[in-house]
A and B are shown apart, each in its own frame.
Chain A
Amino acid sequence: MPTIVVTPPAPDLRMLFMDAMEADGIDYDRNKDGYWIYLRESQVVPWTLLISRFSLIIEDTDPPAFF
């Protein structure tokens, strides 16, 4: 399943956003360029709801990894 990069939601929503991902068991990292979401197949439905709830803007899907 994809890695998705989203623009951070409004500052007053970010804590709620992270709490919601934690509640849904969605793994993520907060990097300088946004939130990197590591989605599993079973999480597509809750993730879709989060996109709507927090008006998320998807910046990239499966970005190249640099090591």
Chain B
Amino acid sequence: MQGKDKIPSHIRYEMSAPVPGMQLENVVIHANDRDIHGTLKSAGNKKDIVLWAGSITRTPEQQRTSPIALAVSDKIATNGISSMLLSYSEYPAQGNDLSRCIQDTKYCVEFLVHIGYEKIIMVGHSFSGAVAIAAAQSLENVIGVITLASQTLGAQTVSHVSPRPLLIIHGLDDQTLGPHCGEQIYSWASQPKELVLIEGATHRLWDRKDILEPLLINWVIDQLQ
């Protein structure tokens, strides 16, 4: 399938045929000066989707997908909630270029809205936490934001996520970006907001899958009801 309708005019896209029985499509969004890759996991006919910003890291040698995004997207699909796993353009050759990754994420939201999704929850881990916060602010289809072990750089304007709900999750054993980062973001944010500090969780957070997975699933389902 190829998007020829130029709405918005600066975006074209290509989608591979779904893998039989899996509703999984590889997507390439051609937007102005860049190609943005992602994997779309469609679930039923609902118009709700979770956008996992930066959850796929691509290098010439390999592709790595966030285990959090993989597992949770499978689980929420059973509730009819789709997922888009996004890889930033030219990442990591460009390094962690915040403004470029924010723009990639915005292009992805434009694409999702164009193909019919109406309510989007944005999730970002670490660097991508700041990307999700910054990108969400100007996008009316984004109805909630989740940050996972987010950095503070780029997150200072988090109050603009309000009045949409914000969930901030951080591991108490995070040695990369300490839990004070999540607390600082919480202090900058406006209501409605929630901070969850997970004991025994490092920067990966997935070491407390037992807490993280149901937390994410329940929050996403609650917001999209």
Q: Which residues of A approach B to under 8 Å, CB–CB?
A: 8, 11-12, 14-15, 18, 28-32
Q: Please give the distance in Å from B93's CB to the nearest CB on chain A.
A: 32
Known: A11-B179, A30-B180, A32-B178. A18 touches B187 (CB 8 A): yes
B197 within 8 A of A: yes
Which of A11, A12, A15, A29 contacts B184 (CB under 8 A)? A29
Which residues of the partner chain B approach A18 to less than 8 Å between Cβ atoms? 183, 186-187, 195
Instruction: Check B195–A15 contact: CB distance below 8 A.
Output: yes
| Nearest B residue to A16, CB-CB | B195
Instruction: Check A30–B178 contact: CB distance below 8 A.
Output: no
Q: Which residues of B approach A to under 8 Å, CB–CB?
A: 172, 178-180, 183-184, 186-187, 194-195, 197, 199
Which residues of the partner chain A approach B184 to less than 8 Å between Cβ atoms? 29-31
Instruction: Check A32–B180 contact: CB distance below 8 A.
Output: yes
Q: From A8, A28, A30, A32, name the one whose CB has the most chain B CB atoms within 10 angstroms.
A: A30
| Nearest A residue to B195, CB-CB | A15
Known: A31-B180, A32-B178. A11 touches B197 (CB 8 A): yes
What is the number of contacts between chain A and chain B, taking CB atoms within 8 Å?
29
Chain A interface SS verdict (over half): mixed
* CA–CA, A12 and B178, complex, Å: 16
Instruction: Check A14–B178 contact: CB distance below 8 A.
Output: no
Which residues of the partner chain A approach B194 to less than 8 Å between Cβ atoms? 15
* CA–CA, A12 and B194, complex, Å: 12
Q: Please give the distance in Å from A26's CB to the nearest CB on chain B.
A: 11
* CA–CA, A14 and B197, complex, Å: 9
* CA–CA, A12 and B195, complex, Å: 9
Beyond A30-B184, A31-B184, A32-B178, 10 additional contacts (C-beta under 8 Å) are A8-B180, A11-B179, A11-B199, A12-B197, A14-B197, A15-B186, A29-B187, A30-B180, A30-B183, A30-B186
* CA–CA, A60 and B197, complex, Å: 25
Q: From B183, B184, B186, B195, name the one whose CB has the most chain A CB atoms within 10 angstroms.
A: B183
Q: Please give the distance in Å from A64's CB to the nearest CB on chain B.
A: 20
Which residues of the partner chain B approach A28 to less than 8 Å between Cβ atoms? 187
* CA–CA, A29 and B156, complex, Å: 12
* CA–CA, A34 and B219, complex, Å: 29
